[in-house]
Copies of this chain bind each other. A is one copy, B any other.
């Protein structure tokens, strides 16, 4: 039992597999059928978006789903190709394939393998926290900009013109140059599919409900609508011979099992893919984990982020071995899986079987599917990712967060996905370090009738002209240590102050540079005849100070509470009552 218990932490399948019953089987099978119908057009579309043959998308949805079901911790997450990762794959694979002379499919395999290995290693080393350095505004900005780039990149398939690009200027320039070459048949199919898909997003569910279909079933049916567009436009292209009229179709898709593949591993290729693979691993993980957490919260379950890394990593390694492309947990497919009633990860395995059946039997029928239909599917899917409202919300709340989200959006649109997300992370860190290097320092006084001290500039408080109470609102570390020293020496110059008490309730850490600064402050205040005291030093900070020689040299004392310090230092004038403790002068509120 304990052996299984321990093992099941690394193989979550052992937990739910033991209790699997007929009811769960029924729920899982139904969910799998619905998700399969939804995934066929999506998989083909995202492979196209990544610049890869359509079957790659199908292959990337079979073994990865099974591996995630074994190693992952979310019960309803569905992994496979998703829009943003497909865009990042396109950005990485295109140039590297051109540079190395390898086929894009081979480069995509290596990219998936590298990402997968990185994810597994991060999981084993419990480095899931690294993903936290992608702040919410950076992610939101990145997803919005990526959505816009993806949608714009698909417009050429709707128009039936050549071109392309990886940044907003490139995409716009290419579209303008080729606008005159628009193929009207393609445009008709594309706009038709687009209109139908937009309508299904809002119109189908109410219509079905008016016809008596229960609300949830109606919503799920709406999600599978793209397959109708696929079937209708494929039949149309076949019946009207649209391929001969210049409408680009998917063409030959090989029928059969996903192939066993071994990614090429030349040093040049690995070096070129190192950064893109890392970015795909981290972005994919962040996206996947946030989907998994959202779904887990609905069912009061918890997921384990470090184990999620292993699950996703295994899925990507699986994709690399079976002719796929980088994968992650997708929002739309997971929500549908969840809403359709998937009870266990087995639903994912059944979906994999469904897609396998499609790959084995239906692929020849896909020949006449117009690329414009797939482009319409992608556009409708990604436009829901675009949310410029994040700019307004961030602006209202904080200029620093706004700067991070705005530059992530601008740089992603202007210079591409890799530069954009890297710059966003770096800028967030720089802004954070800048803020902590100039900490907020408040002079505090006693709130009358309490033992509580607040900023004299914000509250009506009592102070003593001979005792300076200073609260530092930041850990003392190398980047801000000198700032406090300058502030304090400036403040006491030419005053009647005899005691300085540093209220350390907000000092969460004092590093070696901070310690040396405190010693320097103590020495300099001592030269001016001023005593330095500390109050409310936290346990972990105090433990460390005890290992230094500061406490031996400290001219004053360390008080448990700031109230004790003030009562003791204001001496005989102090009163024992909490309500009017010390006859003090009033601080200036403002």
Most chain B CB within a 10 A radius of its CB, from A134, A138, A394, A477: A477
Q: Is the CB of A508 within 8 A of B474?
A: yes
A179 near B: Cβ within 8 Å? no
The verdict on A452 contacting B560 (CB below 8 Å), with A435-B509, A548-B397 known, is: yes
Q: Report B-chain residues with C-beta under 8 Å of the C-beta of A455.
A: 538-539
Indicate if A470 sits at the interface (CB-CB under 8 A).
no
A432 at the interface (CB under 8 A from B): yes
Q: Do A481 and B132 contact each other (CB < 8 Å), given the known contacts A505-B505, A512-B137? A: yes
Question: B508, A473: Cβ atoms under 8 Å?
Answer: yes
In this complex, what residue of B is CB-closest to A513?
A: B136
A331 within 8 A of B: no
Q: In this assembly, does A479 line the interface, its C-beta being within 8 Å of a C-beta of chain B?
A: yes
B478 touches A136 (CB 8 A): yes
CA of A473 to CA of B505, assembled, Å: 9
A:108-157 near B, CB below 8 Å: 129, 132-138
Cβ contact within 8 Å between B506 and A135 = no
Residue of B nearest to A548 (CB): B397
Q: Given A437-B133, A478-B428, A560-B452, answer yes or no on A511-B401 (Cβ-Cβ < 8 Å).
A: yes
A384 within 8 A of B: no
In contact, A561 and B506 (Cβ under 8 angstroms): no
Query: Is A89 on the interface with B (CB-CB < 8 A)?
Result: no
Interface string of A502-518 (1 = CB under 8 A from B): 00011111011101100
Give the shortest distance, in Å, between A165 (CB) and chain B (any CB): 29
Q: Is A338 an interface residue when CB atoms closer than 8 A count as contact?
A: no
Q: How far is the CA of A270 from the CA of B561 in the complex (A)?
A: 56
A242 to chain B, nearest CB (A): 47
Contacts A129-B483, A132-B483, A133-B437 hold; do A561 and B478 have CB atoms under 8 A apart? no
Task: Give chain B nearest CB distance to A181 CB in angstroms.
Answer: 42
A297, CB-defined interface residue at 8 Å: yes
With a cutoff of 8 Å between Cβ atoms, the chain B residues found around residue A398 in the complex are: 511-512, 544
A439 in contact with B508 given A451-B452, A452-B451, A578-B578 (CB within 8 Å): yes
Please provide the chain A residues from 448 to 482 with a CB less than 8 Å away from any CB of chain B in the complex: 450-452, 454-455, 457-458, 473-475, 477-482
Does A498 sit at the interface, judged by CB under 8 A? no
Alpha-carbon separation in the docked complex, A429 to B137 (Å): 22
Q: Is the CB of A458 within 8 A of B539?
A: yes
Indicate whether A512 sits within 8 Å of B397 (C-beta atoms), given known contacts A297-B524, A450-B451: yes
Report if A231 contacts B (CB, 8 A): no
Q: Is the CB of A511 within 8 A of B400?
A: yes
Q: A132-B437, A429-B433, A538-B473 are in contact. Are A450 and B563 (CB under 8 A)?
A: yes
Residues of chain B within 8 A (CB-CB) of A302 are 489
B397 and A544 form a contact (CB under 8 A): yes
Tell which of A438, A482, A536 has the most Cβ of chain B within 10 Å.
A482
Known interface pairs A508-B474, A511-B401, A512-B401; A452-B561 also in contact (CB < 8 Å)? yes
Min CB distance A265 to B, Å, is 29
Q: In this complex, which of A439, A451, A481, A524 has the most chain B Cβ atoms within 10 angstroms of its Cβ?
A: A451
| A544 surroundings in chain B (CB, below 8 A) | 397-398
Return chain B residues, CB-CB under 8 Å to A438. Answer: 129
CB-nearest residue of chain B to A489: B302
**A180 interface residue (CB < 8 Å to B):** no
A513/B560 contact (C-beta < 8 A), A433-B429, A451-B578, A506-B505 known = no
| Chain B, Cβ-Cβ closest to A128 | B482
Interface hub of A396, A438, A506, A515 (most chain B Cβ within 10 A) = A506
Q: For the complex, is A447 an interface residue (Cβ under 8 Å from B)?
A: yes
Q: Does A547 contact B (CB under 8 A)?
A: yes
Task: Give me 25 A-to-B residue pairs in the complex whose CB atoms sit less than 8 angstroms apart, sorted by A's number.
Answer: A132-B478, A132-B483, A135-B513, A136-B513, A137-B512, A137-B513, A297-B524, A302-B489, A396-B548, A397-B544, A398-B511, A401-B512, A401-B513, A432-B478, A436-B475, A440-B508, A440-B538, A450-B451, A451-B578, A454-B539, A454-B560, A455-B539, A473-B508, A506-B507, A578-B578
> Which residues in A have some Cβ–Cβ distance to B below 8 Å?
129, 132-138, 297, 302, 393-394, 396-398, 400-401, 428-429, 432-433, 435-440, 442, 447, 450-452, 454-455, 457-458, 473-475, 477-483, 489, 505-509, 511-513, 515-516, 524, 527, 536, 538-540, 544, 547-548, 560-561, 563, 578
4 A-B pairs with least C-beta separation: A135-B478, A401-B512, A136-B513, A473-B508
